Amino acid sequence: MTFKNAVASCLLQYTNMRGRASRSEFWWFQLFIAAVSLVLYLLTSFLPDRYYNFGPVLNSFFLIAMAIPLFSVCVRRMHDTGRSAFAAVLICVPVLNLLCLWWASRPGDARANAYGPAPDEGE
Protein backbone atom coordinates (compact mmCIF):
# COMPACT_ATOMS: atom_id res chain seq x y z
CA MET A 1 0.00 0.00 0.00
CA THR A 2 1.38 3.41 -0.93
CA PHE A 3 1.56 6.44 1.33
CA LYS A 4 -1.27 8.19 -0.51
CA ASN A 5 -3.52 5.12 -0.51
CA ALA A 6 -2.91 4.47 3.18
CA VAL A 7 -3.74 8.03 4.23
CA ALA A 8 -6.84 8.08 2.01
CA SER A 9 -7.96 4.69 3.35
CA CYS A 10 -7.56 5.76 6.98
CA LEU A 11 -9.36 9.06 6.48
CA LEU A 12 -12.21 7.50 4.50
CA GLN A 13 -12.67 4.65 6.99
CA TYR A 14 -12.38 6.79 10.11
CA THR A 15 -15.53 5.29 11.66
CA ASN A 16 -14.92 1.72 10.52
CA MET A 17 -13.88 -0.35 13.52
CA ARG A 18 -14.46 -3.63 11.67
CA GLY A 19 -12.13 -5.48 9.41
CA ARG A 20 -8.37 -5.41 9.28
CA ALA A 21 -5.60 -2.96 8.39
CA SER A 22 -2.23 -3.91 6.99
CA ARG A 23 1.05 -2.91 8.58
CA SER A 24 1.80 -0.52 5.75
CA GLU A 25 -1.55 1.22 6.13
CA PHE A 26 -1.00 1.68 9.88
CA TRP A 27 2.61 2.90 9.67
CA TRP A 28 2.09 5.17 6.65
CA PHE A 29 -0.73 6.87 8.55
CA GLN A 30 1.52 7.25 11.59
CA LEU A 31 4.13 8.86 9.36
CA PHE A 32 1.51 11.20 7.87
CA ILE A 33 0.45 12.41 11.32
CA ALA A 34 4.06 12.92 12.44
CA ALA A 35 5.00 14.74 9.21
CA VAL A 36 2.02 17.10 9.27
CA SER A 37 2.59 17.81 12.94
CA LEU A 38 6.26 18.61 12.26
CA VAL A 39 5.38 20.87 9.32
CA LEU A 40 2.81 22.73 11.41
CA TYR A 41 5.37 23.19 14.16
CA LEU A 42 8.03 24.46 11.77
CA LEU A 43 5.68 26.82 9.95
CA THR A 44 4.33 28.34 13.14
CA SER A 45 7.77 28.64 14.76
CA PHE A 46 8.56 31.52 12.38
CA LEU A 47 5.61 33.61 13.54
CA PRO A 48 6.24 36.76 15.59
CA ASP A 49 6.48 36.38 19.37
CA ARG A 50 3.02 37.72 20.02
CA TYR A 51 1.60 34.62 18.25
CA TYR A 52 3.63 32.12 20.30
CA ASN A 53 0.49 30.19 21.32
CA PHE A 54 -0.80 29.80 17.77
CA GLY A 55 1.47 26.86 16.86
CA PRO A 56 0.61 24.57 19.76
CA VAL A 57 -3.09 25.37 19.41
CA LEU A 58 -3.07 24.62 15.67
CA ASN A 59 -1.14 21.39 16.24
CA SER A 60 -3.55 20.39 19.00
CA PHE A 61 -6.54 20.90 16.70
CA PHE A 62 -4.87 18.74 14.05
CA LEU A 63 -4.11 15.95 16.54
CA ILE A 64 -7.65 16.05 17.95
CA ALA A 65 -9.03 15.81 14.41
CA MET A 66 -6.80 12.79 13.73
CA ALA A 67 -7.59 10.99 17.01
CA ILE A 68 -10.60 9.06 15.70
CA PRO A 69 -9.01 7.97 12.40
CA LEU A 70 -5.87 6.97 14.31
CA PHE A 71 -7.82 4.93 16.84
CA SER A 72 -9.84 3.32 14.04
CA VAL A 73 -6.76 2.18 12.14
CA CYS A 74 -5.23 0.98 15.40
CA VAL A 75 -8.32 -1.15 16.11
CA ARG A 76 -8.22 -2.58 12.60
CA ARG A 77 -4.48 -3.25 12.95
CA MET A 78 -5.07 -5.14 16.19
CA HIS A 79 -7.75 -7.15 14.38
CA ASP A 80 -5.17 -8.07 11.75
CA THR A 81 -2.93 -9.51 14.46
CA GLY A 82 -5.84 -11.51 15.91
CA ARG A 83 -6.44 -9.24 18.92
CA SER A 84 -9.65 -7.56 20.00
CA ALA A 85 -10.32 -3.83 19.95
CA PHE A 86 -9.51 -3.77 23.67
CA ALA A 87 -5.83 -4.16 22.75
CA ALA A 88 -6.05 -0.84 20.86
CA VAL A 89 -7.18 0.89 24.05
CA LEU A 90 -3.72 0.17 25.44
CA ILE A 91 -2.35 2.84 23.08
CA CYS A 92 -3.79 5.37 25.56
CA VAL A 93 -1.98 3.90 28.58
CA PRO A 94 1.60 5.04 29.18
CA VAL A 95 4.19 2.25 28.94
CA LEU A 96 1.55 -0.24 27.73
CA ASN A 97 1.32 1.78 24.51
CA LEU A 98 4.74 0.35 23.64
CA LEU A 99 3.22 -3.13 23.76
CA CYS A 100 0.46 -2.01 21.41
CA LEU A 101 3.01 -0.55 19.00
CA TRP A 102 5.03 -3.76 19.15
CA TRP A 103 1.91 -5.76 18.27
CA ALA A 104 1.26 -3.35 15.39
CA SER A 105 4.75 -4.01 14.05
CA ARG A 106 4.23 -7.78 13.96
CA PRO A 107 2.95 -9.51 10.82
CA GLY A 108 -0.79 -10.06 10.68
CA ASP A 109 -2.55 -13.35 10.16
CA ALA A 110 -1.90 -14.49 6.59
CA ARG A 111 -5.31 -16.11 6.34
CA ALA A 112 -8.77 -14.95 7.26
CA ASN A 113 -9.35 -14.69 10.99
CA ALA A 114 -12.39 -13.85 13.15
CA TYR A 115 -12.21 -10.21 11.96
CA GLY A 116 -12.28 -10.85 8.22
CA PRO A 117 -10.05 -11.70 5.29
CA ALA A 118 -6.41 -10.67 5.19
CA PRO A 119 -5.90 -7.07 4.00
CA ASP A 120 -4.46 -6.59 0.54
CA GLU A 121 -1.01 -4.98 0.72
CA GLY A 122 -1.09 -4.06 -2.95
CA GLU A 123 -4.04 -1.67 -2.81
pLDDT digits (tens, 9 = 90+) for 18-30: 989 999 999 999 9
CB count in 10 Å sphere of residue 6? 23
**Tens digits of per-residue pLDDT, 67-114?**
999 999 999 999 998 888 888 888 888 888 899 889 989 888 888 888
Q: Is 19 helix (H, G, I), strand (E, B) or coil?
A: coil
Q: Is 16 exposed, middle or buried (0-12, 13-18, 19+ CB in 10 A)?
A: middle
Q: Is 44 helix (H, G, I), strand (E, B) or coil?
A: helix
User: What does the mean pLDDT of the chain come to?
Assistant: 88
- The whole-angstrom separation of Cα 67 and Cα 80 is 20
Q: Write down the pLDDT at residue 123.
A: 43
Burial category of 45 from C-beta neighbours within 10 Å (exposed 0-12, middle 13-18, buried 19 and up)? exposed
At residue 116, the 3 state secondary structure works out as strand
| 110 inside domain | no
Average pLDDT in the 57-62 region?
Answer: 92
**Which residue range forms the structural domain that includes residue 75?**
3-105
pLDDT for 121 equals: 66
- Residue 114 belongs to some domain of the structure: no
Count the domains in the chain: 1
Domain-located, residue 116: no
The yes-or-no verdict on residue 122 having pLDDT over 70 is no
Q: How confident is the model at residue 119 (pLDDT cuts 50, 70, 90)?
A: confident
